[in-house]
Amino acid sequence: MDQSETVTVYRIPQESVVGKLGEHEKCCPRGLRGHPTRSLKALLKERNQQIAELRAALDAAHVQLLDAVRQIGTIADFQAATAVAEAACRATVERLKGFLQGVVTDKALALDIRNEVIGKKLGPENTLVAKDSVAAEDKHVTESDSDGKTEDDNSGGSTVYSEPESDPTTFLTPVPLVFIAQISPESCFLMPDGNWKGPMEYAQSFTNVKLNCLTVVPSQTLVYVNNFTNIVGNIQWFMAQSETAGYSKQGIFNASETQKRSIKLCCVLFQVGTLVLLCSSSTNEALINSETKEDIESIEKWPIDNENTRKAATELKKNHHIIPLPTCDIHGNLIHPTQYQDTLKDAVVWFTVLLKHWSITVKDNTREAHPRNNAASETKMYLYYRIAMLILEFGISHSLHSESVSVAEAEVEAAHNTTQESEGEAS
């Protein structure tokens, strides 16, 4: 791609995904076995309602517990009040788990994918594509070959072929995988600058930076465990299809794990081209182009603290645009880049990802795609750039932080009210 070429991308709206997702239905391909955007939108609304009920029940239980502490008469009274509060919490949590179980057993999530997709080479890399799109490609190639036949007057009636002008790979539809996992707090590197401060082994320049994290099985929830087991099996099948025989496999799994219980995941931060936003016109529903320069997605506005990193980013702004991490909190709101690390660490997350595999050669500390002279056979999992991560449960560190902030705000408000009351009495 020429560096001056314009790249067209669709962005997630800054408002609630629940309210605005419909605008992007036309550009969102169907997921595994047809997981339409419409059902995801309905899922978000229903899940938000469930979570609101859960929060209300937990708040009520918390109030009951505080009342028991204030009015404690005996240990037995306290234990009885605690039991009632815990029962209320458990009942609500079980309802939420039942709802999520219905989600996880959806065909788009937990099924064996081998009858639905196939590994296919697109450019220098292999990725998963829908089998019906391969059939469409084969049909197109056959028709192109047929249309390309011409009679050559000087060849005695023999048939010659002309190259078809269109690219048959445009018929191939990459299929995103969906799974639920917990982001390991020990291996979460989702800082908006990728913690890049200068050339590193796998990121010689700032353009090579990828945000990454390790996802692990949420061991406390059986529904999630079953889903994680399925996705590991699907990934292993894809790697077996795509790997280069005789070369080491790397990129997704921890080689030291006999039973795979973690998956590496990364997200590209920069892309070549000028960022152009496609938005719907309110009058005739036509698509209009408008460059985005003043929002958080521009390189100038991207949160970077290190001076060297900021200088490197400034040098990229002419030929690159930045790709925010497409991730939403439990309310369906986009997470600000400065909050990626704190919010996502230890959280249980719904991931939508693309698997990509290619062969690499290592030479003079560089990694280059090479089809024949390979040093390793590498598979990586990239965040699907539309709705990549949706938080189902916050991690305990985030919950404690939110609770302490709420308590502090309540104390400030109480102090403010007391001051106003005192001033009123004095006057």
Q: Could you give the count of Cα atoms lying within 13 Å of 212 in the half-sphere of its Cβ? A: 17
CA gap 149, 134 in Å, rounded: 23
Instruction: Compute the mean pLDDT over every residue in the chain, rounded to the nearest whole number.
Output: 62
CA gap 265, 253 in Å, rounded: 10
Q: Is 287 helix (H, G, I), strand (E, B) or coil?
A: strand
Cβ-based neighbour number of residue 130 at 10 Å: 22
CA gap 4, 2 in Å, rounded: 5
Q: In sequence order, what DSSP letters do the residues of 335-376 get, joined into one string?
A: PPGGGHHHHHTT-EEEEEEEEEEEEEEEETTEEEE-SSS-SE
CA gap 303, 298 in Å, rounded: 10
Q: Tell me whether residue 95 is exposed, middle or buried, using C-beta atoms within 10 angstroms of its C-beta: 0 to 12, 13 to 18, 19 or more.
A: middle
Mean pLDDT of 2-10: 38
| Length of the chain counted residue by residue | 427
Cβ-based neighbour number of residue 284 at 10 Å: 7
Is the pLDDT reported for residue 357 higher than 60? yes
What is the DSSP pairing of strand 7-9 with strand 248-250? unpaired
Q: Is 78 helix (H, G, I), strand (E, B) or coil?
A: helix
**More confidently predicted of 89 and 236:** 236
Six-digit token string for 423: 């001033």
**More confidently predicted of 203 and 89:** 203
Provide the H-helix boundaries in 180-303.
222-242
Contact (CB, 8 A) for 309 and 196: yes
Is the pLDDT reported for residue 332 higher than 60? yes
| Closest C-alpha among 270, 261, 269, 268 to residue 214 | 261
Contact (CB, 8 A) for 97 and 111: no
Task: Kindly tell me the number of DSSP H helices and DSSP E strands found in the chain.
Answer: 8, 18
pLDDT for the residue 134 = 76
pLDDT for the residue 20 = 33
CA gap 386, 327 in Å, rounded: 9
Cβ-based neighbour number of residue 390 at 10 Å: 22
Six-digit token string for 330: 């439990």
Contact (CB, 8 A) for 231 and 179: yes
Query: 34-43: per-residue pLDDT in tens?
Result: 333 444 556 6
Q: How far is CA 297 from the centre of its chain?
A: 17
pLDDT for the residue 71 = 61
Is the pLDDT reported for residue 239 higher than 80? no
**More confidently predicted of 348 and 256:** 348
Is the pLDDT reported for residue 404 higher than 80? no
Six-digit token string for 78: 């306290």
Task: Provide φ and ψ at 103, rounded to 5°.
Answer: -70, -50
Query: 131-154: per-residue pLDDT in tens?
Result: 777 777 777 666 665 554 444 444
Q: How far is CA 183 from the centre of its chain?
A: 12
Confidence tier at 117 by pLDDT (50, 70, 90):
confident
CA gap 327, 350 in Å, rounded: 10
Helix axes 75-104 and 37-70, enclosed angle (nearest 10): 180
